[in-house]
Amino acid sequence: MADAAGIVRPSPHRRHINVALVGVGNCASSLVQGIAHYQNGGANEQIGLMHWDLGGYRPSDIRLVAAWDIDRRKVGRDLAEAIFAKPNCTTVFCDHVTPTGTPVRMGRVLDGIADHMDAQPADRTFLRAEAAEPGKADVVRVLVESQADVLLNYLPVGSQQATEFYAECALEAGVAFVNNIPVFIASDPVWAARFAAAGVPIIGDDIKAQLGATIVHRVLTDLFAKRGVKLERTYQLNTGGNTDFLNMANRARLSSKKVSKTEAVQSVAHRRLDAENIHIGPSDYVAWQNDNKVCFLRMEGQLFGGVPMNLELRLSVEDSPNSAGVAIDMIRCAKLALDRGLGGPILAPSAWFCKHPPEQMTDDDAHAEVETFIRSAS
């Protein structure tokens, strides 16, 4: 059926989900591997999933129909091959990803590559392809022709202009937008209103890992509040060796990331901490860690009688599979929103899956709300 602009849109009620990817880095690699890993798994092979069946959709219902990147080692290759190309360095937990038939297209660069990345070793940085960059009409055409349902944003932190470019494309194509990075789209009132007016769902902003530093820090902060412990000061220091950490070595690209991570913790504290008493953010790039992310967390407070206490925790995770375990549910929630004709920010999934949603909730409340959302969509 054609819309008012004369564009033929796919039916929102297909029982599979067509996904387009912006950025074919480590997180995309883990997601694509995961879809293959769970493709033929039964109910006894659900390790690592929050939901095997989410509103009637299983991992095997996800199809990868379009992808964009800017690295010459990926552009032009089948997505199943491109996910293993450098500078990707995440764990290969599924080496039998079958060809998708989806070529990686040249993406729009804009501010997607930080200047300092040019001085890094080739295996650690992006090598820009010489192909022509697409315009908005080119991306919209691919989204429509591929019958994409969901556009997943995996651009580097700090890619404000590039993220806005692809958000515009999603709006024009009528494709749900899942914003995994800390560029504020779903949580920006102007963008939120535009998605609502267009009847296009958006889930964002800035994905929380499955069991990462932010979710652990939030849960402990909420526990302090519930157990009557006064939280006085805290820090969260993170190190890693992937392109995400290398990109964030440019502190100028970190402003929204620090806001996102800090607000995620402040929002569940009994009382907001003064800025000097809370420090959260990427701390250093350690090349040999590759996709391993290590978090050093400290919390200081007062117990009964004002007696001091402190807590220290070290968390080590493979960064990108930790993200993919959440993205696979965000995709399916976005499709449920499409099926139900919802537009604008989808609040419950955004609060449960993201660090900087339009509406912050405690994780207990967000979990309950998202389960209600899933059940009501069944």
* Same domain (yes/no): 276, 154: no
The residue with tokens 């509103």 is 55
User: In which domain, by residue range, is 145 found?
Assistant: 17-209+321-377
pTM above 0.85, yes or no: yes
* Same domain (yes/no): 183, 128: yes
- Of 273, 296, 318, the position where a domain reaches its end is 318
* Same domain (yes/no): 260, 369: no
* Same domain (yes/no): 277, 175: no
* Same domain (yes/no): 192, 335: yes
Check which CATH number belongs to the domain holding 285 and give it: 3.30.360.10
CB 157 within 8 A of CB 248: yes
* Same domain (yes/no): 28, 148: yes
- Of 318, 349, 366, the position where a domain reaches its end is 318
* Same domain (yes/no): 197, 98: yes
**Strand intervals (E) in 190-288:** 201-203, 230-240, 278-285
* Same domain (yes/no): 311, 224: yes
- Of 297, 318, 339, the position where a domain reaches its end is 318
**pLDDT the model gives residue 36:** 94
Residues 70-85 have pLDDT tens digits of 999 999 999 999 999 9
Residues 299-310 have pLDDT tens digits of 999 999 999 999
For the chain, the first-to-last Cα distance in angstroms comes to 25
Residue 4 domain flag:
no
* Same domain (yes/no): 59, 193: yes
* Same domain (yes/no): 185, 41: yes
**pLDDT the model gives residue 102:** 98
Residue 50 domain flag:
yes
* Same domain (yes/no): 128, 191: yes
Residue 194 domain flag:
yes
**pLDDT the model gives residue 3:** 53
> From CA 367, how far away is CA 270, in angstroms rounded?
20
Residue 11 domain flag:
no
**pLDDT the model gives residue 263:** 96
**pLDDT the model gives residue 13:** 54
Residue 8 domain flag:
no
What contacts 180, CB < 8 A, 6 or more positions away?
27, 152, 153, 154, 204, 206, 207, 323, 327, 330
* Same domain (yes/no): 35, 49: yes
pLDDT per position in the chain (378 positions), as tens? 445 444 444 455 568 999 999 999 999 999 999 999 998 665 557 889 999 999 999 999 999 999 999 999 999 999 999 999 999 999 999 988 999 999 999 999 999 999 999 999 999 999 999 999 999 999 999 999 999 999 999 999 999 999 999 999 999 999 999 999 999 999 999 999 999 999 999 999 999 999 999 999 999 999 999 999 999 999 999 999 999 999 999 888 888 888 999 999 999 999 999 999 999 987 799 999 999 999 999 999 999 999 999 999 999 999 999 999 999 999 999 999 999 999 999 999 999 999 999 999 999 999 999 999 999 955
Residue 12 domain flag:
no
Check which CATH number belongs to the domain holding 181 and give it: 3.40.50.720
Q: Write out the two tokens for 169.
A: 């494309």
**What is the total count of domains within the chain?**
2
